[in-house]
A and B are shown apart, each in its own frame.
Chain A
Amino acid sequence: MSTDLWELKEQYNKAENTDQIDYKMVSFSLGGKDYGIDIMKVKEILKVNKFTYVPNSEPYVRGVYNLRGDIISIIDLRTMFRVNKEERTDDLEDIIVLSIDDKRIGVIVDSISKVVGVQASTIQEPHPIFSNINIKYIRGIVDKDSRIYIILDVDRIFGDEAEEESEQITATEIAGKSVPGMVEKSVYRSEEKETDINKDFIKETLKTFINFHITDINKKWFQSRFSEWVQVRRNAGENIQLSGAGDAGEFISSFYSNNTGRFFDQKTFVALKKIIPTGARGNYFVWDIGCGNGYETYSIAAIVKQQNPDAAIKVWANDKDLLSISNAPNLSISTGSVPPYLNAFVTEGTKGGVISQELKDIIYFEYHDVKNHNPYPDVDLIICRDVLSFFDYNEQFRITSEFFDKLKNNGILIIGDNESIDFDGFEECEEGGIVYYRKNEGRK
C-alpha cells in the first residue's frame, strides 16, 4: 500500500472511468467501517512511528509531529470516536494529513485504502444507523462498488466553528500547557440547536423506517406533533428518539385523516355535498388514490352519484397494497356501520350488508402504483388522502403536477387532513371544515 498520496491518485486515474465523477475522497478503514474524506482537504498521507508525546492533552491527541519544519498535531480518530484500534504488525501508524483553515492536522486511522470517485448527487444524508460516531461529523453516506463509505465532515470536526468553545491547538500551547481540545459531544449547546437536531433525527427515522417524508406538505402538522411528542416522552421519562418502525408508526398516528378505515361520516357527507357539483349530465370522472379497502371509494361514489343521478360516472380507485385492494370489490359491511347517506346503496346480503350493484358498476378497483404511468382520461375530482407524505419531495412535486394536468378546469383535488400544498394554479378553498383545492387555469 502506497504512502504516497500522489501515487494513490495515479492508481485511481488509471483504474477509474472518470465520467460523471465529481467528488473524490481518500478512503480508509476505522473500527471496521469504511470512511472517506474529501480529497480537497487532504494534504498528504504518511506512515509514521514516532510522535512527540504531549502531556496533559486530551486522550485523542497522540502528540505532535515535525513535518518538514511544520509542527502538526496528531489526532487518533479511533480514540476520538471511541472505536477499537486495529492490530498492526509493524509499529507504524497510517496518517492522513488534513489541511483545514490553513492549519495542518494529522489523523491516525486503521488503514488508508485508496482514492474513490463518486457522483456527488449519489451521496445520501447521514443516518445514525450507519455509524456510531456523532452524526454531526458525517457529511453523508455513499456507496460505490458494493461498499458503503461514511464521508467525514472534517471541517466540522476540526474547523474553526468546532472550536467556538475551545482553544486552537497551537504549537506554543503544546509546551506543557493543557490543551482543552474539542469535546466529542455536539458543541452546539443552545437549546434551539438541540431541538433542531432532535427534529432532524426524527425526520430521518420516519423516512428510514416507514417511508414518511416531512416536507412543506405536512410541516405544520409535524411542528405541533413534535412538541406534543417531546412533552409526552419527557413526562414518561422516555427517549424522544424513535427506536424503530413501531415508534415511528406511533409518531404519525395523529397524522391520518378523519374517516380513515371507515365510511365517511354523515358530517363529512354534508360538507362534501357543498363541494362536489350537482346535476352534471355528461361524464363525471373520479380518481381515488390510496383507496385501501374501499371505504373512501364507496363513500365518494355514493355522494357523487346522489348529486349527479343523470351523469355517466366512473370512479377509478387505486392502491399499491395488493391485499387491501383485492378485498375492496367484495367489501362486507356490518349493518351498524352504515351512515344514513349510504343506505340507498347498501343491500342486505346473506351474510350482512353488501354494496349495491348500482354503485359497484361505476367503480374500477385497480392494483396500481401512482408513481407509474396511468391510462386515465382527464377527471373532475381527485382524492388522494395521506398518500403524498409517503413520497419524497421530488415525487410529491411531480405527482401534484400530474394531478394538475389530469384535472379538468375547475376540477377538485382533496388531500389529507394534515397535508397542504402550495401549487400555482390550485386555489385553496374550505367548506365545512374540509380543505380542498380547485384547479383554476386562469391563475397559472
Chain B
Amino acid sequence: MRVEYINPFVEAAFNVLKEVLNADIKRGELYLKSTSQPVLGVATIIGLAGDVEGRVLIDMSHETALKIASEMNMEEFKVLDELGRATITELANMITGQAVTKLHDLGFRFDLTPPSIVTGKDMVISDSGVEALIVPIELPQGKIEINVAIKEKA
C-alpha cells in the first residue's frame, strides 16, 4: 500500500475512537497480512473507489462490538441487534470518512461505498490473497483491527 495512504487511516482511527469512546486508546505496531480475511468475529466493510480500488475493514470480536455499541448508546447491549449493528457501522463510517478527507487534502481522490457489516457465521470475503495493512488498536472495550487493502487503479 502506498505509504502516503497509511497515516490518514492511522490518525483517523485514533481520533475518531478517542472522541467517540472518550477513553485511553493504544495503537499497536502496524504490519502486513497476506490474506485479508477478517478474523475476530464482527467485520464492517467499506469499499473504496476513485483513484484506487479496495476496502477498509474494521474487525473486532463480538464481545467488543457489544461493549462499543453499549458505550456509544449509553445503554447495555446484550445482543447485537439492528441498532447495535447500525452503531458499529456508523463508527466505521466516521473513521473511513475522516481518513478519506485527510487523503483528499493530500491530493488523492477516494470515494466511499455504503458500509456492510458481517458477523461470524456468514463471513464470506472473497478477496483473500490481497495484502492488507493492519492497524491494531487497543481499547478498554477490547482490541479492534483496522484492515486496509488498497491497490492503484491500473
A-to-B contact residues, CB < 8 Å: 320, 322, 325-326, 328-329, 364-369, 371-375, 377
Q: B34, A366: Cβ atoms under 8 Å?
A: no
Given contacts A374-B131, A377-B154, contact A369 B1 (CB under 8 A): no
Pick the residue among B6, B30, B32, B130 that contacts A369 (CB under 8 A).
Answer: B32
**Count of A-B residue pairs with CB < 8 Å:** 43
21 contacts between A and B (CB under 8 A): A320-B32, A322-B6, A322-B30, A325-B3, A326-B3, A328-B3, A329-B4, A364-B2, A365-B3, A366-B2, A367-B2, A367-B6, A367-B133, A368-B131, A369-B34, A371-B34, A372-B34, A372-B131, A373-B34, A375-B151, A377-B154
With a cutoff of 8 Å between Cβ atoms, the chain A residues found around residue B129 in the complex are: 373
A374 to B149, CA, bound (A): 11
B138 close to chain A: CB less than 8 A: no
With a cutoff of 8 Å between Cβ atoms, the chain A residues found around residue B11 in the complex are: none
Given contacts A366-B2, A375-B152, 12 further A-B contacts (CB under 8 A): A322-B6, A328-B3, A329-B3, A364-B152, A366-B3, A367-B133, A368-B32, A368-B131, A369-B32, A369-B131, A372-B34, A373-B129
A328 to B4, CA, bound (A): 10
Which B1-24 residues have C-beta < 8 A from chain A? 1-4, 6
Task: List the 8 closest A-B pairs by CB distance, nearest first.
Answer: A372-B131, A375-B151, A372-B34, A369-B32, A365-B3, A373-B129, A326-B3, A366-B2
B-to-A contact residues, CB < 8 Å: 1-4, 6, 30, 32, 34, 129-131, 133, 151-152, 154
With a cutoff of 8 Å between Cβ atoms, the chain A residues found around residue B34 in the complex are: 369, 371-373
Name the residue of chain B whose CB is nearest to the CB of A374.
B131
With a cutoff of 8 Å between Cβ atoms, the chain A residues found around residue B32 in the complex are: 320, 367-369, 372
A224 to B30, CA, bound (A): 39
With a cutoff of 8 Å between Cβ atoms, the chain A residues found around residue B4 in the complex are: 329, 365
Q: B2, A326: Cβ atoms under 8 Å?
A: no
User: Which of A326, A367, A369 counts the most chain B CB atoms within 10 A?
Assistant: A367
Q: A365, B30: Cβ atoms under 8 Å?
A: no
Given contacts A366-B1, A367-B1, A372-B34, contact A326 B6 (CB under 8 A): yes
Q: B131, A373: Cβ atoms under 8 Å?
A: yes
With a cutoff of 8 Å between Cβ atoms, the chain A residues found around residue B3 in the complex are: 325-326, 328-329, 365-367
Q: B130, A373: Cβ atoms under 8 Å?
A: yes
With a cutoff of 8 Å between Cβ atoms, the chain B residues found around residue A377 in the complex are: 154
Q: B30, A368: Cβ atoms under 8 Å?
A: no
A364 to B1, CA, bound (A): 9
Min CB gap B131→A, angstroms: 4
